[in-house]
Amino acid sequence: ELKVEQNPLFLSMQEGKNYTIYCNYSTTSDRLYWYRQDPGKSLESLFVLLSNGAVKQEGRLMASLDTKARLSTLHITAAVHDLSATYFCAVVPGSEKLVFGKGTKLTVNP
Amino acid sequence: EAGVTQFPSHSVIEKGQTVTLRCDPISGHDNLYWYRRVMGKEIKFLLHFVKESKQDESGMPNNRFLAERTGGTYSTLKVQPAELEDSGVYFCASSPRGLGNSPLHFGNGTRLTVT
């Protein structure tokens, strides 16, 4: 069974600091998605990574994909309070369904 | 454009009762998906429609769950009879051409509590 593991599951950080969230998956996937969810809201798409070595950046967030290592990272630069949310990665094991990690709940403290 | 709309946002029912969740996808999106997140667990796939046809229902937990998409527009997910373990957040998502290279668009979810 395909497993997608995120770590850490909970992250509390100070504003202005940098940190990385990791997403490991156990079988091949040619795509990886990162989503953000605010409490009670929908999952908002952040990045779609389509190939080995793909790197995408939006504001203070940067995502990368290493398909050989089956690893994606979501790097946060100079965190601000507005980034507080739960972040999910998801892969596609060759069918029309996303397989999600458990999510990383990020809290950015002033 | 309007996003994916789900109704109700919350539902509290007793064990043994029936509940019907509704999802209105983004207009023109032929692909519609249902996912569920049980407390503390991952978000898990339930099923996938293309227009009115079920393409994959491998994630449906058991025959107490019935999904329909008559006319290929909105979809309903009925749970009958509900059990305690059905509690969780049910998400609907849509896309114009399936997963492909594009993300799914998710609704806000319906939080179902079975007591």
Phi, psi (5° rounding) for residue A107? -120, 120
Model confidence at B39: pLDDT above 90: no
CATH number for B5-98 (one of 2.40.50.140, 1.10.150.120, 2.60.40.10, 2.60.120.10): it is: 2.60.40.10
Mean pLDDT, range B69-85, rounded to an integer: 95
Give how far A77 is from chain B: nearest CA, Å. Answer: 24
- Paired residues of B21 in beta bridges: B77
User: What is the residue extent of each domain of chain B?
Assistant: 5-98
Question: What's the pLDDT tens digit per position in B56-75?
Answer: 999 999 999 999 998 889 99
CATH superfamily, region A4-109? Immunoglobulins (2.60.40.10)
The per-residue pLDDT for B1 is: 67
Q: Contact B26/B39 with Cβ under 8 angstroms?
A: no
B3 and A42 within 8 Å at the Cβ level: the answer is: yes
Q: CA A80, CA A61: separation in Å to the nearest integer?
A: 11
The per-residue pLDDT for B36 is: 98
Q: Nearest by CB to B55, which of A40, A90, A96?
A: A96
A42 and B44 within 8 Å at the Cβ level: the answer is: no
User: What is the residue extent of each domain of chain A?
Assistant: 4-109
Q: CA A83, CA A18: separation in Å to the nearest integer?
A: 12
Model confidence at A1: pLDDT above 80: no
Question: What's the pLDDT tens digit per position in A6-48?
Answer: 999 999 999 999 999 999 999 888 789 999 999 989 999 999 9
Nearest CA in chain B to A92: B99
- Strands B31-37, B10-13: pairing kind: unpaired
Model confidence at B48: pLDDT above 90: yes
SS3 content of chain B, % helix, strand, coil (to 5): 5, 50, 45
